Structure 1
Amino acid sequence: MNYFLEYLAIINVVGFVMFGYDKFLAKARQRRIPESTLMTVAAMGGSVGCYASMMLFRHKTRHFKFKIGIPFIIILQATLYVLYKIYL
């Protein structure tokens, strides 16, 4: 397995766990993970894991930033990957 795929697997697991943990913290009324941190993990390649966690835990699904932002990041990352494969 190459390093890029390993990185994507790890960052998606991290994103998935972070959204799930943030949901746990929300229910426990404890200090939460900043939204900017969650979006950063998605932008770093963990968007699919973040989106899966959003849907599974029903967390941040009403927030426009996440409802539109995470799918947008997924589309952007997929487009960049396809362009990379075509031109390099």
Structure 2
Amino acid sequence: MIFYFLLMNILTLIFFSYDKFSAKNHKKRISEHTLLSLTLFGGTIGAVSGMFLFRHKISKTSFLLKFGVIILIQIILIFSFRKYLYSFI
């Protein structure tokens, strides 16, 4: 479980980094859907790190709203299933 989240966060950070690089160099971009999906499936820390380290997607309101909804969903899921999560730790 820890390996999964570590891998997802590293992968998400790499995707945010590559998308910022692509944006600066006018190359083909990674879709917001892909970035948000990686965040949803466990890459939240990597996404937040990428947003702040590379100053990427931090001024795009529509992205931030969707990102906030994902974080809210994750918080609700964690609190809803916290008794089951302790068995994985």
| TM-score (normalised: structure 1) | 0.82
Q: 1:53 touches 1:59 (CA, 8 Å); kept in 2?
A: yes
The percentage of counterpart residues that share the same residue type is 33
Aligned equivalent of 1:66: 63
TM superposition outliers: structure 1 runs of 4+ over 3 Å: none
Give distance in 2, aligned partners of 1:80 and 1:34: 25
**Matched positions, count:** 84
Give distance in 2, aligned partners of 1:72 and 1:43: 10
Name the Cα RMSD after superposition: 1.5
Q: 1:13 touches 1:49 (CA, 8 Å); kept in 2?
A: yes
Of the three residues 49, 54, 60, the one matched with 1:52 is 49
Q: Which amino acid aligns with 1:13?
A: I
List runs of 5+ in structure 1 lacking aligned partners.
none
| TM-score (normalised: structure 2) | 0.82
Note the C-alpha offset of 1:68. Answer: 2.5
Aligned equivalent of 1:29: 26
Q: 1:19 touches 1:59 (CA, 8 Å); kept in 2?
A: yes
List runs of 5+ in structure 2 lacking aligned partners.
85-89
Give distance in 1, aligned partners of 2:11 and 2:27: 20
Q: Which amino acid aligns with 1:18?
A: F
Structure with higher helix content: 1
Aligned equivalent of 1:39: 36
Note the C-alpha offset of 1:14. Answer: 0.7
